[in-house]
Chain A
Amino acid sequence: MGIIDKARIYSPWLYHLHCGGCNGCDIETLAALAPRFDVERFGIQLVPSPRHADILLTTGCVPKQFIPMVKRIYEQVPDPKVVVAVGSCACGGSLFYDDAPENYAILGSPDLLIPVDVYVPGCAPKPEAIINGVVQGILKLAEKASKKE
């Protein structure tokens, strides 16, 4: 593992991709960054652009209008990257997903579009669970970085 990969694992940057959730998981994700849970002590920082990110954190069931944007943002994140899906919606569509008749507005979970590495279930998951999910993501990131060489 080179020095860049080592540095990446000690300060993974996170891009928060909101794709059509109810805002519940999003405020919990932000709460994880706020003083009580404070993920910045792990070196995790929220960045405003996907091009700077190592971890892509998605929330919500993907409405069909978001399909091109989600794919594009995933492609913008540089390799090696890890996707963490937060919340029941991002794990399987939750109550918005309907089989028969199909919900006309919803695609379902983001793993239909992009490869997801870590799933954090819960409606909404607590900030502790989200932090745990991101830490699992960091381990996967380390694995991917070592495989690259």
Chain B
Amino acid sequence: MTWEIVIGLEIHVQLATKTKLFSGAKIGFGAAPNTQTTLVDLGMPGALPVFNEAALRMAVTFGTAIDAQVCKHSVFARKNYFYPDSPKGYQTSQMDHPIVGLGHLDIQLEDGTTKRIGVTRAHLEEDAGKSLHEDYDGMTGIDLNRSSTPLLEIVSEPDMRSAKEAVAYMRKMHAIVTTIGISDGNMAQGSMRCDANVSLRPKGQEKLGTRTELKNINSFKFIERAINIEVERQIDILEDGGKIVQETRLYDADKNETRPMRSKEEANDYRYFPCPDLLPIEIDDAYIEAIRQSLPELPDQRSARFVSTLGLSEYGAAVLSSSRHLADYFEAVVDVCDDAKLSANWVMGEVAKYMNQNNIEIEQCPVSAARLGQLICRIKDDTINGKGAKTVFEGLWNQTGEVDEIIASSGLKQVNDVFAIDLMVDEVIANNPKQVAQYLEAQEDKRGKMLGFFMGQVMKASKGSANPGQVNGLLAKKLNALC
């Protein structure tokens, strides 16, 4: 049987406000426990919430950025459950009247096509505190610093058909929220995390299969792995004639498996009701339009500009605009070297390769955009060749000096001196009579390929520093003269 994979994502984005959703307590990562709380965040009886305008503005900004319906009337609701890191006994969230309604987002697939993913809704809610289960004399420690931190929960339609599409959607969402500045998007610190709803159905069937929910996935890599491993698990069950149990599962990255969360008894009976402590939020068209007008250039627009004004390929433009930081880095390189294509090749080539090897993001890249720009300038003015430039890049990555210092100290300066190259070419021709004879006997259309051997020898003799264009020209001229 051929199975179709159906995926929907719920993404939680921590909004980059200075203070909490409902109190004037400061928000900051890594503060000492319970130093960023007020009576409201502690859920003290009688302490009343006051809604943060910046959180509202950010939610509306998001709604306009994905061309969604922004609701002029929205209502906070209580989602009731008991857990000690939520001292009120409920989470303030939105249920029937979320701030953002139907919208959509386009993702680029690997084959170059674009697919539209529906966004069902996005609503404001508060985060809970943290439970620390290490041993405190058999008790659990509670840190409420994160309590009442504003979150935007973005719910997608079940429109994705593979783990790769889910990653592309999450990346696009990341690019948007960081571009419009509503979140730092730091996944390692939990500023962006997602739950994935995964189900299978026989290909061609309309009715959705039973789904499982994978909780709290906090990296792009884990989204793909978690979904793929869950799909495999579901296929095994279905092909053995079994049934999928609707449940919440956790992805264990160390074991690369998903397993059911210990079921909280009837945990889904949240008994939502409108929060009596908060009045309905009313905004008008002028408020929404002013925000729409102030939107910055969005990732899709930036990508289109990379194609139209910088001459990049659709693919290159999509990759480089996939994160605001990457796009900023790329544009800063172009500003220095004034060569968009070389800049794109380097950012998607060496920079991406080193980042992958070291498992870091562009924000932590030790080679600044200014330095990479200078390096590309040195390729363009023939100071070094492409191969030498890779060695210089390695030096820059390891922070051994500035571009020109590394070029000078490592003897990578390209030899553009025609006489010096001429001498090396003559020497190589003289030292390899057998290959020269073969070259002369060969058909003309085979010679181009055979030239590579001599190129290699000259480049070796020059320790990689000869200008490859000049070597190639001289070699062809001298060898053809022997015919």
Partners in one complex: no
